[in-house]
Amino acid sequence: MDAELVVQDDISSNRNASSASRPALYISIILGAALAACAYKLRTDGIFACQAVGYTSDRYLSYCHNSGYGDYEHGAFWFDLEPSIRNFAANAEVLFLGSSRMQLALSTRATADWFSSSSARYYLMGFGYNENTDLARELLLKFKPKAKVYVVNIERFFDRTVTVPAGAVMRDPAAKGRYEVKRLWQLVHRPICQSLPMICGDQYVIFRSRETGAFSVAGLGQFKGAAVSYNQSVDQAAVQNEAAIGKEFLSELPVKRECIILTTVPYPQTKVAAVNALAKALGMKLVWPEVDQLQTFDGSHLDRPSAERWSRAFLQAAAPQIRKCLADSRESRP
């Protein structure tokens, strides 16, 4: 009888232990599944969808091509999340304004070498999302740049349409917190993806120089290139509307009119006639070198070889104007 009681007690104890362990097992399974789902989302729809190849002491991640991370550069500038960029932009002698087309066309060795040989500081302050005067004006007011020359990529720039990221940083009270989180994710992303690149994706990613604003890109395999071509059509109503905005914006730049250089970066179906008409309506000349056989990597932005050739030609064409303005400003210093 005693032996039977012992056996029954053992069976009862095992049942109780098994029952007690089930909630812990379920919790472990749920937590494991949640962690796996979180890791999968970060890998496919977050910063880990992009590689970390472009980080340096000078470069931060500006954009990762997915809806979970996307834009960082707008918040970095607006909220001073990368504090040194304000100093570099404000103290540049030549300040470039425009879109990502301008950014990629001038983020070249040819540009860096030209300014180095001229002992001049430059800054590329263009943005993705076809950014325009709406954000540029506000950033110029915040940064108070000391530039002696402004170069403006005018195609689609003289526009007051508020882009999604510009609207977020300027008007959404919660935006600063979201962009601060994006900055913190870079502190995790960089060591993990540099040490274990195989666990991170290969989405299109842009890294940006704090010192010059220049872009460095990776993950281009998902795009299909196209040759640069030209469109001779002109929408006169659009030209007049852009000219009105342009005259107001350019009048606010604190330099002589001859120290404002207008250009446009070519792409497939470049509206060259419309842009020339816009420059004429502004009473200014378009500095636009004709370079043959240019290619884009995605149907919009010049690929690296084409950007090197175009930026070299542009700076050669703009050199007399830039050098004269810089020389005049230096001679006028007390």
pLDDT tens digits for range 249-259: 999 999 999 99
Do 238 and 247 contact (CB within 8 A), yes or no?
no
**pLDDT of 1 above 80:** no
Mean pLDDT of 250-277: 96
pLDDT for the residue 36: 42
pLDDT for the residue 267: 97
**pLDDT of 238 above 60:** yes
pLDDT for the residue 222: 87
**pLDDT of 38 above 90:** no
pLDDT above 70 coverage of the chain, percent: 86
**pLDDT of 33 above 60:** no
Reported as a pLDDT band with limits 50, 70 and 90, residue 34 is very low
Enter the pTM of the model. Answer: 0.87
pLDDT tens digits for range 178-227: 999 999 999 999 999 999 999 999 999 999 999 999 999 999 988 999 99
pLDDT tens digits for range 47-89: 999 999 999 999 999 999 999 999 999 999 999 999 899 999 9
**pLDDT of 31 above 60:** no
